[in-house]
Homo-oligomer: A and B are copies of this chain.
Amino acid sequence: MKSTSCSSCLLKSKAVINLGDNELDILDKSCVQATFDRGETIFKQGALSSNIIYLQTGLIKLMIKGPNRVQILRLKKAPCYLGLPTTMGDKINNYSASALEKSTACFIDMNTFKELLRINPAFSYEIIIELCKNELEQFKRCVTLVQNQIFGRLASNLISFADDIYSSHEYELPLNRNELADLVCTSRETISRILSDLTKERIIEANGKHIKIINYNMLKEISRKG
């Protein structure tokens, strides 16, 4: 049940901002809103994909089950589109999404979305921009995962939590040790060892999920060198 119509929604995407009243009406008629608690699945790998999902509020993880393990592809913070590639580039979800905190998402019918792409070039243009930025981000992440050793990989992610997600050098991790290991592509034991070492070296303070970055420059250096 939608709390507000698309036209009076205060959390529109950059793409949707370009829509006229008529187009917002079209969107409103085939757009459903849902709230997810932490841990709930928004869409599942292997299932048919027929909606475009716009994450209005919250934080989610994209996960894929690979040959050897579950891997967290990336975390995504609202506002953003989820699963655009998997819905428009394929018919089956190539990966899953789950909420890491209470989140709200709008499910847009695929055909309506295509219609909006067709009738509003500015809408299309913003979708293209988002796809392009996502791919660049993904390339960067992949290079870090492949080239850096585990110290550098973990440091990069801790910094990303601080700079991109919480805008603070002190935060509560939204992941347990196993999930952090899935994000950084290592084992949970290795995560424990490194958080321990970083704490001993007074670069961070790690108390359970509570992280405080003490020596940001040193952490940055570690993330650069790998």
Chain A contact patch, size range: 35 or more
Closest to A118 in B: B121
Interface presence of A139 (CB below 8 A): yes
Complex contacts, A68 vs chain B, CB 8 Å: 147-148, 226
- B132 near A89 (CB under 8 angstroms)? yes
- A128 near B125 (CB under 8 angstroms)? no
- Give the copy number: 2
Name the interface residues of A81-105: CB closer than 8 Å to any CB of B: 84-86, 88-90, 94-95
A 132-167 binary contact with B (CB < 8 Å = 1; else 0): 111110111111111110001000000000000000
Chief secondary structure at chain A's binding surface: helix
Interface presence of A191 (CB below 8 A): no
- A128 near B139 (CB under 8 angstroms)? no
Interface presence of A202 (CB below 8 A): no
Interface presence of A175 (CB below 8 A): no
- A135 near B89 (CB under 8 angstroms)? yes
With contacts A135-B134, A138-B138, A142-B138 known, is A147 near B69, CB below 8 A? yes
The 8 Å CB contact of A128, one of B67, B88, B122, B226, is B88
Task: Give complex CA distance A129, B114 in Å.
Answer: 11
Task: Give complex CA distance A134, B135 in Å.
Answer: 8
Interface presence of A225 (CB below 8 A): yes
Closest to A152 in B: B67
The 8 Å CB contact of A226, one of B67, B127, B148, is B67
Task: Give complex CA distance A62, B169 in Å.
Answer: 35
